[in-house]
């Protein structure tokens, strides 16, 4: 095959709308084409650290695993669903998903190849149908189209139109409309009927009456015998063909599972690009703990992070641990201080202040060791240990243990300390601010203090303990594959009854990397601004208590995040409330009993959407240009600008321009205002769970959960999430925060 020409578009377009195997037309609507993988794109190795490539590979593996699990359920079908109908056979090893990192090529999408497609044409005057099998022969074959004209070559109008309708199937296959018809023979092979059954002619008109495609049909040029517009998918027919002849109902396949459908790709999508995104970090220190062989270290990290009681050590154990840590001399000083303290206590004449000073020094040393050396040897509760052991079954996106590790990494790299090349702080507390975030006209310290105080007041009313502007949120968005006719793992068609047919998830076709073929993963590295928000833990506990949402018991001093991790591990064993990849459990109405983790996640997710909605209305950015990340155990979330264009400081500019000494900042003031969550479909929206396009939904491509686990009720009451099986309406988090302060939204 000749080399396909490359096409340049924006990187975002090339990774999505023009990704390999997509169909498109050039400007003006002329020239229908299919995009194909391009080997000339540069490797993304310079942009991606080793840890980032590994994490992408793991996410793709999990994506295929979860997709296959859901697509092969076979609900309503009469036969088991083979794995090869659910996922690309190139990721299957012994019928099990195995995405090898070495089979992937991480590329920067600068260009994409393309070829004309479909190679099917119709005469604009008489409707004669012609097609070509190969791009290489298109020119020579097109020159002979006139030879097949029913009126003769000299009378041919020579007015050939490329068809913009294709035959597509959820297996991922797409092909031109053709009178050729594929069927499964009794000999166990696929055969194709090419000629008219009545007169053996190979020429057909394509009749396209106005109305739906069901009226389209072929007509033999010679005898006028009609032939329906029907084609069977070759891939699916090869697998299910033998089942169409089965006599036992439980093993039979119906042709509705195999038949392709005509689709105009100008009007309907026949290509859905699949991918994901992840936060990019500089260091792998904590992320390494997520490796399967380090469960004990991970449990110790979580125990220390969420305040589980420290193990009681003997003096010999303390000395050994300190010497192993290179701090043995501190133990010698400590032992000496204790001897002196005992002598002072034994002397009645010793001033009490001297004794207290000596004991305080000893206590400070104990506290320092507990927070550093001994923290790595905390006693992990069985619930945490069990959660670490079971996390291989967790969906990465909803895994609270991964969230906790990522949050700790984010805190150390972005939230606490550090400067950018231009001298600005990487992150700034919005109740402190810096010279770049105060309004230009606010120069007096008294006015600045008013801004700080008013902002703090509104954060308290919102139940927010900490909010920071982060100037360097690094994100990698990537795409790796596609599906046809549906973006979800199953599809239903009327002719198949209630059967859920598997949609096949496919990798992009291979490109040559050196001398080896690899599947491209198109990576977009971004660095933009964002807002980090952490809720007040005491207020979250009050909110759970007010709404009678039970919480797993935990030892005294353990933070809420520890209980949430333990509970998540428990509910993952319950098919009715678990967090699966596509959250099917939370799509059903009034079906989930109340647990803390789903409600806390919904609270954080809904507030993130609320902040996105307010920020979009004030910054000039559209809703789809935002992204989000949830850190459920730490009661925190991150919303950030998504985009490959230069970050012009939209969020920091918004914050600066919206500052005012009377109410701190208009962003916070708007969030406090109850009308900011008013919905144009109020009563209907409340009845359906309090989430619709009129209020807190954002484009699905920007949302972590495709707009699941959202409800205005968790913020302002007046209803409850659609999945909640509880009998009482939820009291909103904002209401609980306001009541605890004795304030009102107008403060």
Q: Phi and psi for 684 in degrees, rounded to 5?
A: -65, -40
Tokens of 266: 């100008």
Alpha-helical segments (H) within 535-661: 537-546, 560-571, 596-619, 650-657
Mean pLDDT of the chain: 91
Measured CA to CA in angstroms, residue 77 lies from 125, 256, 318, 355 at distances of 45, 11, 64, 80
d(CA 266, CA 630): 37
392 vs 489, residue with greater confidence:
489
d(CA 202, CA 227): 12
Alpha-helical segments (H) within 478-548: 537-546
- The radius of gyration of the chain's CA atoms, rounded to the nearest angstrom, is 32
Give the best-scoring range by mean pLDDT among 10-19, 89-98, 156-165: 89-98
d(CA 595, CA 607): 19
d(CA 201, CA 147): 15
pLDDT at 25 over 60: yes
- pTM of the predicted model, to two decimals? 0.86
Largest alpha-carbon pair distance within the chain? Answer: 127
Domains of the chain, by residue range, sit at 6-45+112-273, 387-477+523-741
Q: Which residues contact 197 (CB under 8 A, 6 or more apart)?
A: 225
Please state the rounded mean pLDDT for residues 412-427. 90
Give the pLDDT band (50/70/90) at residue 723.
very high
SS3 130: strand
Number of residues in the chain: 747
SS3 91: helix
Q: Note the pLDDT of residue 376.
A: 63
Minimal CA–CA distance to 538: which of 635, 442, 447, 616?
635
d(CA 83, CA 97): 9
d(CA 519, CA 4): 17
Q: What is the pLDDT of residues 427-459, one digit of tens each?
A: 999 999 999 999 988 889 999 999 999 999 999
Please state the rounded mean pLDDT for residues 62-71. 94
Beta bridge partners, 640, equal 530, 627
pLDDT at 367 over 60: yes
Q: What is the pLDDT of residues 164-212, one digit of tens each?
A: 899 999 999 999 999 999 999 988 899 999 999 999 999 999 999 998 8
Q: Note the pLDDT of residue 28.
A: 66
SS3 for 144-158 is: CHHHHCCCCHHHCCC
CB 42, CB 107: distance < 8 Å? yes
Instruction: Indicate the DSSP class of residue 411.
Output: I
Q: What is the pLDDT of residues 82-129, one digit of tens each?
A: 999 999 999 999 999 999 999 999 999 999 999 999 999 999 999 999
Q: Note the pLDDT of residue 318.
A: 82
Q: What is the pLDDT of residues 253-281, one digit of tens each?
A: 999 999 999 999 887 889 999 999 999 99
Q: What is the pLDDT of residues 342-356, one digit of tens each?
A: 888 778 778 878 888
Q: Note the pLDDT of residue 8.
A: 83
Measured CA to CA in angstroms, residue 272 lies from 17, 151, 275, 344, 368 at distances of 8, 43, 10, 77, 54
Q: Considering only 7-16, 76-85, 529-538, 620-629, which range has the smallest mean pLDDT?
A: 7-16
pLDDT at 372 over 80: no
Minimal CA–CA distance to 695: which of 711, 683, 677?
677
d(CA 5, CA 7): 7
Q: Phi and psi for 147 in degrees, rounded to 5?
A: -65, -20
Q: How many helices (H) and strands (E) does the chain have?
A: 19, 30
d(CA 640, CA 651): 9
Q: Considering only 157-166, 531-540, 550-559, 658-667, which range has the smallest mean pLDDT?
A: 550-559
d(CA 306, CA 309): 9
Peptide bond into 41 cis (omega under 30): no
pLDDT at 537 over 50: yes
Minimal CA–CA distance to 711: which of 616, 550, 598, 573?
598
Q: Note the pLDDT of residue 380.
A: 62
CB 90, CB 60: distance < 8 Å? no
Measured CA to CA in angstroms, residue 73 lies from 67, 83, 500, 705 at distances of 10, 10, 8, 21
Beta bridge partners, 36, equal 113
Q: Helix 560-571 to helix 400-410 angle, to the nearest 10 degrees?
A: 150
d(CA 683, CA 690): 9
- Cα 319 from chain centroid? 47
Q: What is the pLDDT of residues 204-246, one digit of tens each?
A: 999 999 988 989 999 999 999 999 999 999 999 999 999 988 7
CB 61, CB 104: distance < 8 Å? no
d(CA 498, CA 173): 23
d(CA 736, CA 540): 9
CB 467, CB 530: distance < 8 Å? no
Give the pLDDT band (50/70/90) at residue 371.
low
Give the pLDDT band (50/70/90) at residue 310.
low
Q: Considering only 22-31, 295-304, 495-504, which range has the smallest mean pLDDT?
A: 22-31
Minimal CA–CA distance to 122: which of 33, 221, 226, 190?
221
Dihedral sign for Cα atoms in the order 44, 46, 48, 51: positive
pLDDT at 745 over 70: no
Q: Which residues contact 132 (CB under 8 A, 6 or more apart)?
A: 119, 138, 141, 142
Rounded percentage of the chain residues whose pLDDT exceeds 70: 97
SS3 for 593-629 is: CCCHHHHHHHHHHHHHHHHHHHHHHHHCCCHHHEEEE
Minimal CA–CA distance to 608: which of 524, 709, 684, 678?
709
CB 95, CB 48: distance < 8 Å? no
d(CA 81, CA 700): 28
pLDDT at 717 over 60: yes
CB 734, CB 604: distance < 8 Å? no
- Cα 428 from chain centroid? 27
pLDDT at 642 over 70: yes
Convert 229-238 to b/e letters by CB count within 10 Å (16 or more is b). bbbbbbbbbe
Tokens of 129: 């149908």
Please state the rounded mean pLDDT for residues 698-710. 93
d(CA 27, CA 19): 17
């Amino acid at each position: 095959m000749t080399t396909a020409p490359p096409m340049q578009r924006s990187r975002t377009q090339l990774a999505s709308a023009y990704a390999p195997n997509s169909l498109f037309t050039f400007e003006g609507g002329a020239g229908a084409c299919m995009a194909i993988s391009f080997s000339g794109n540069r490797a993304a190795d310079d942009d991606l650290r080793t840890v980032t490539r590994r994490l992408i590979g793991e996410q793709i593996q999990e994506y295929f695993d979860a997709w296959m699990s859901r697509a092969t359920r076979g609900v309503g079908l009469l036969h088991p669903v083979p794995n090869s109908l659910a996922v690309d056979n190139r990721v299957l090893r012994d019928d099990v998903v195995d995405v090898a990192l070495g089979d992937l090529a991480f590329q920067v999408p600068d260009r994409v190849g393309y070829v004309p497609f479909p190679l099917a044409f119709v005469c604009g005057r008489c409707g004669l149908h012609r097609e070509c099998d190969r791009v290489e022969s298109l020119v020579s074959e097109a020159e002979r189209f006139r030879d097949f004209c029913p009126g003769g070559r000299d009378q041919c109008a020579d007015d050939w139109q490329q068809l913009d309708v294709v035959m597509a199937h959820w297996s991922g296959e797409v092909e031109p409309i053709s009178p050729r018809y594929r069927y499964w023979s009794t000999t166990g092979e696929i055969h194709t009927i090419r000629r008219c059954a009545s007169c053996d002619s190979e020429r057909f008109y394509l009749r396209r009456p106005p109305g739906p495609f069901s009226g389209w049909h072929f007509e033999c040029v010679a005898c006028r015998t009609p032939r329906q517009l029907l084609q069977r998918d070759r891939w699916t027919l090869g697998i299910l063909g033998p089942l169409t002849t089965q006599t036992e109902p439980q093993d039979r396949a119906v042709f509705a599972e195999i038949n392709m459908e005509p689709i105009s790709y100008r009007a309907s999508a026949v290509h859905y690009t699949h991918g994901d995104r992840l936060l990019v970090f500089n260091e792998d220190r904590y992320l390494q703990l997520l490796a399967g062989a380090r469960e004990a270290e991970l449990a110790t990290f979580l125990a220390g992070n969420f305040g589980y009681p420290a193990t009681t050590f003997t003096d010999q154990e303390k000395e050994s641990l300190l010497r192993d840590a290179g701090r043995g001399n501190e133990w010698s000083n400590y032992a000496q201080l204790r001897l002196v303290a005992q002598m002072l206590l034994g002397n009645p004449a010793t001033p009490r202040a001297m004794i207290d000073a000596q004991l305080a020094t000893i206590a400070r040393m104990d506290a320092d060791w507990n927070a550093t050396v001994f923290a790595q040897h905390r006693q992990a509760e069985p619930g945490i240990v069990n959660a670490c052991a079971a996390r291989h079954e967790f969906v990465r996106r909803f895994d609270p243990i991964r969230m906790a590790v990522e949050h700790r990494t984010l805190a150390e790299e972005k939230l606490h300390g550090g400067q950018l090349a231009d001298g600005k702080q990487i992150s700034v507390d919005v109740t402190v601010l810096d010279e770049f975030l105060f309004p230009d006209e606010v120069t007096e310290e008294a006015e600045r203090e008013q801004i700080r105080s008013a902002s703090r007041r509104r954060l308290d009313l919102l139940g927010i303990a900490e909010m920071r502007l982060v100037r360097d949120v690094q994100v990698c968005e990537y795409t790796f594959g596609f599906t046809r006719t549906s973006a979800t793992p199953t599809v239903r068609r009327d002719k198949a009854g209630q059967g859920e047919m598997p949609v096949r998830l496919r990798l992009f076709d291979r490109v040559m990397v050196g001398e080896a073929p690899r599947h491209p993963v198109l990576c977009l590295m971004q660095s933009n601004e964002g807002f980090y928000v952490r809720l007040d833990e005491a207020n979250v506990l009050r909110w759970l208590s007010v709404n009678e949402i039970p919480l797993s018991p935990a030892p005294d001093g353990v933070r809420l995040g520890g209980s949430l991790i333990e509970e998540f591990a428990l509910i993952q064993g319950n098919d009715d409330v678990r967090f699966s990849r596509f959250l099917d459990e939370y799509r059903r109405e009034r079906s989930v009993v109340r647990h803390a983790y789903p409600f806390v996640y919904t609270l954080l997710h809904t507030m993130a959407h609320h902040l996105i909605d307010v920020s979009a209305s004030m910054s000039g950015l559209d809703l789809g240009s935002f992204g989000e990340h949830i850190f459920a155990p730490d009661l925190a979330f991150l919303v950030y600008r998504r985009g490959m264009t230069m970050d012009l400081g939209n969020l920091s500019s918004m914050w600066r321009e919206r500052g005012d000494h009377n109410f701190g900042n208009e962003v916070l003031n708007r969030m406090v205002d109850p009308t900011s969550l008013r919905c144009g479909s109020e009563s209907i929206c409340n009845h359906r769970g309090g989430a619709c396009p009129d209020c807190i939904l954002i484009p699905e491509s920007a949302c972590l959960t495709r707009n699941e686990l959202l409800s205005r009720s968790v913020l302002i009451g007046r209803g409850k999430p659609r999945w909640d099986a509880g009998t009482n309406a939820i009291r909103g988090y904002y209401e609980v925060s306001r009541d605890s302060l004795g304030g009102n939204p107008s403060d």
